[in-house]
Amino acid sequence: MMRLNLYIKRIFDIVSSFIAIILLLPVWIGVTIAIKKDSPGPVFFRQTRRTKDGKVFQMLKFRSMVVNAENMGAGLFNYQNDPRVTKVGRKLRDTSVDEFPQLFNILFGSMSVVGPRPCVKYELGDFDTLNSKYKKRFQMKAGLTGLAQIKGRNDITWDDKVTYDNQYVDAFNKFGVLEDVKILFLSVFKAFKSENIYENKEDDSLNDEEAAKRAEEEIIRIAHMPD
């Protein structure tokens, strides 16, 4: 039964992503023009992330920050009023349009419509030494949306995200693609609300760079705690 559910899931990924790519053609054109007029740099942002079994791939997004932003300021973290975010980029993030290029990742098989959000390759530290809780989420292919996204997106801790991701793994094993249908339905409503887009600082007295460094260290520490 699990094999059948995974087969149906993949067929849905191919069909839905292909149709969406075609229907969104005006969006591809409009966003491309807007990004090029707004700031210098490429239209697309490519980042090495992890999917099922920790396999790495190049995830696509519309560029919403200045070039080389990952090596500036808060790094992987995005707090309110982040100066690295461009004017057009802020609108893309508020509407989640910056995520649309991941439809190509879905079409070609590195991602799925529903699944745990793909972490940056080094975000959780060494993959091979992750504890069992953090490795469990990698039993499913990374998704465009997932249970953690509808439960809180960036407003919850990484540990909470992993808890929800693992709940999704268990639910898919039990209910199959019906779980994906439920999450996809709820995600549509969540996207229109533009909630929980930015991450919260543990200590508001810290600047973005200090807060990001402390958060990164804590994420990696928890991800490698003994089982």
Regions of the chain where pLDDT drops below 70: 191-198, 203
pLDDT at position 21 is 98
In the three-class reduction of DSSP (H, G, I as helix; E, B as strand; rest coil), residue 198 is classed as coil
- Give CA–CA dist 80/202, Å, rounded: 13
For the segment 88-109, what is each residue's pLDDT rounded down to a tens digit?
Answer: 999 999 888 999 999 999 999 9
- Give CA–CA dist 186/1, Å, rounded: 25
pLDDT at position 52 is 98
Nearest 5°: phi and psi at 116? -60, 140
pLDDT at position 18 is 98
Crossing angle between the packed helical segments 208-223 and 158-175, to the nearest 10 degrees? 50
| Domain hosting residue 97, numbered range | 2-223
User: Helix-strand-coil percent breakdown of the chain, rounded to 5?
Assistant: 55, 10, 35
pLDDT at position 132 is 97
For the segment 112-131, what is each residue's pLDDT rounded down to a tens digit?
Answer: 999 999 999 999 999 999 99
**Total domains, the chain:** 1
Unique residue bearing structure tokens 């490429």: 42
pLDDT at position 181 is 94
